[in-house]
Amino acid sequence: MATFDYGLMISMMMTILLASFVSADPDLLQDVCVADLTSGVKINGFPCKSNISADDFFFAGLAKPGLTNNTFGATVTLATVQQIKGVNTQGVSMARIDYAPGGINTPHTHPRATEIFFVLEGELDVGFITTENKLFSKRIKKGEIFTFPRALIHFQINKGKVPAAALAAFNSQMPGLQSVANALFASSPPVDDVVLSKSFQIGTQEVETIKSKFAPKK
């Protein structure tokens, strides 16, 4: 009868346990750490300031709809650590997105957060794409929720005839946002036209035309 190797089992369990500690966020070391956004100290987050008040934990910016008279017919109003200094080290943030009829929150990613998305008004077509290029999409209405997994490309579009609005919550004080189109066609310095031409199987003149649409307005 084979002898069970308890030493090996304990070793494997300790390896898994240590790996979980390494990958997890650190526990808070104080009740609050209100961000000092003016500090020149560079850390993974923001250093704490000493003089804090209730206003450091308050933000009224999501109460009113954002203006949607822009190219994409949608506006994102953020509520991250840069707007609410009190969420520093708390691992949470929010955003409000307003959409005109036909408005779109273009394909983008949040590299540091999963997003849970709640429709306030109207209805929206939403979706995300996995690393296997599989699209998961659904039409969601007022009061319904959809989840966008961390770092995956996702989007929302209002195909209705009335405005729509939604709230998004993130498990990061600074989820980050990278627009797919902007990253490729409006980077600085620019991505070589040959790279974009071969990637999208289009001519370099078409690449230049697309880039011109993302150029800053003078």
Whether the per-residue pLDDT at 21 is higher than 60: the answer is no
Residue 6, domain member (yes or no) = no
Domain span at residue 198 reads: 187-214
Query: Is the pLDDT reported for residue 1 higher than 50?
Result: no
pLDDT over threshold 70, residue 9: no
- pLDDT band for position 27 (50/70/90)? low
Q: Which amino acid is at 43?
A: I
Same domain assignment for residues 120 and 206: no
Q: Is 108 annotated as a binding residue?
A: yes
pLDDT tens, position by position, 57-97: 999 999 999 999 999 999 999 999 999 999 999 999 999 99
Query: Is there a domain that residue 54 lies in?
Result: no
More confident residue, 49 or 18: 49
3-state helix, strand, coil in the chain (%, to 5): 25, 30, 50
pLDDT at 30: 79
pLDDT at 23 over 60: no
What pLDDT is attached to residue 100?
98
Q: Is 51 annotated as a binding residue?
A: no
Are 131 and 193 within one domain? no
Sheet with 145-148, edge to edge strand ranges:
74-79, 93-99, 164-170, 115-121, 145-148
Query: Is residue 149 situated within a structural domain?
Result: yes
Q: CA angle 108-153-206, nearest 5°?
A: 65
Q: What is the pLDDT of residue 8?
A: 66
Is residue 114 situated within a structural domain?
A: yes
Count of domains in the chain?
Answer: 2
Same domain for 192 and 140: no
Q: Is residue 35 part of a domain?
A: no
> What pLDDT is attached to residue 62?
96
d(CA 154, CA 159): 16
Pair 157, 210 in one domain:
no
115 annotated to a ligand binding site? yes
Tell me if 63 is assigned to some domain.
no
Q: Is 206 annotated as a binding residue?
A: no
73 and 161 in a single domain? The answer is: yes
What is the distance between the alpha carbons of residues 13 and 35, in angstroms, rounded to a whole number? 38
At residue 217, does pLDDT exceed 60? yes
Q: What confidence tens digit (pLDDT) does each residue in 142-180 have? A: 999 999 999 999 999 999 999 999 999 999 999 999 999
In a domain, 106, yes or no: yes
Residue 101 sits in the same domain as residue 158: yes
Q: Is 88 annotated as a binding residue?
A: no
Are 157 and 193 in a shared domain?
no
Mean per-residue pLDDT of the chain: 90
| Residues 74 and 170 placed together within one structural domain of the fold | yes
